[in-house]
C-alpha cells in the first residue's frame, strides 16, 4: 500500500476516481466470470446428456476425460482445450494470471478504491477477450456448427467460420468499451434497440 496517506484519501474521496475504480473493478470481475464460464462450461456441456430438476448431470466420462487432468476444475478444463490445440500453454499461464488478479480485486476491494498504487490491470481486459474469443470460436467451429442439423446441407466459407461470435464475445467487447471510456458503440446499440422496441409496440397497437 502507498505510504502517502493524503493521496490515498484523495483517491478514495474523489467521486470521479471512486466511481472509475468501482466501474473497473466490477467490469473486471464480470469479464472474469464470462471467461471462466467459457473455459469450464463448454467441456462440461459436451459430456452432459442428462438433466434432473433443471440441473445438468455430466456423464462419468467428464470426470475421466476432463476433471482428471488437474485437481483444479478450471485448469483441468483448460488442459482439455489444450489437448485439442484450442489453446496453448502460454494461454493457460495467462488464465492463471487473470484469476490471480480477480482474487486480488475480490478480496482486497477497499485497497483498489483507496490506494494510489493499486489499480485494476487494464491490459488484462483485452487479454481476457483474447482468450474468450479463442475458446468460443474454436468451440463454435468444431462443435456447435458440425452438430447443428440446420447446417447439414450448407458448407460455410472460411470468412463465415472466422466471423462467428458468441454472446460472451459480444458482451465482453461492450464491457471493455465501457472500461475504456468508449461508449459510443453501446449508445448506438441502445438507440437502435430502443427504436426496434418502440416499432414493435406500434405494430402491436395497430
SS3 breakdown of the chain: % helix, strand, coil, rounded to 5? Answer: 75, 5, 20
37 pLDDT band, cuts 50/70/90, is: very high
* pLDDT greater than 60 at residue 3: no
pLDDT of residue 16: 85
pLDDT of residue 147: 66
Average pLDDT over every residue of 185-205: 77
* pLDDT greater than 70 at residue 72: yes
1 pLDDT band, cuts 50/70/90, is: very low
What average pLDDT does the chain have? 87
- Give dist(CA 130, CA 117) in Å, integer: 27
Neighbours of 81 (CB within 10 A): 24
pLDDT digits (tens, 9 = 90+) for 14-34: 778 889 899 999 999 999 999
* pLDDT greater than 70 at residue 105: yes
- Give dist(CA 106, CA 32) in Å, integer: 11
State the pTM of this model. Answer: 0.83
* More confidently predicted of 164 and 33: 33
Amino acid at each position: 500500500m502507498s505510504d502517502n496517506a493524503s493521496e490515498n484519501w484523495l483517491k478514495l474521496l474523489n467521486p470521479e476516481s471512486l466511481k472509475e475504480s468501482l466501474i473497473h473493478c466490477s467490469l473486471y470481475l464480470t469479464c472474469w466470470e464470462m471467461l471462466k464460464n467459457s473455459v469450464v462450461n463448454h467441456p462440461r456441456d459436451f459430456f452432459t446428456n442428462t438433466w434432473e430438476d433443471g440441473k445438468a448431470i455430466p456423464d462419468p466420462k467428464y470426470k475421466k476425460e476432463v476433471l482428471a487432468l488437474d485437481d483444479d476444475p478450471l485448469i483441468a478444463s483448460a488442459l482439455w482445450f489444450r489437448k485439442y490445440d484450442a489453446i496453448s500453454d502460454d494461454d493457460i499461464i495467462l488464465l492463471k494470471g487473470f484469476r490471480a488478479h480477480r482474487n486480488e480485486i475480490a478480496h482486497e476491494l477497499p485497497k483498489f478504491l483507496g490506494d494510489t498504487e493499486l489499480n485494476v490491470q487494464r491490459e488484462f481486459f483485452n487479454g481476457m477477450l483474447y482468450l474468450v474469443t479463442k475458446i468460443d470460436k474454436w468451440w463454435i467451429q468444431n462443435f456447435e456448427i458440425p452438430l447443428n442439423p440446420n447446417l447439414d446441407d450448407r458448407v460455410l466459407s472460411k470468412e463465415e467460420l472466422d466471423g462467428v461470435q458468441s454472446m460472451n464475445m459480444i458482451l465482453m467487447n461492450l464491457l471493455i468499451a465501457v472500461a475504456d471510456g468508449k461508449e459510443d458503440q453501446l449508445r448506438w446499440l441502445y438507440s437502435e434497440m430502443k427504436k426496434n422496441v418502440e416499432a414493435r409496440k406500434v405494430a402491436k397497437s395497430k
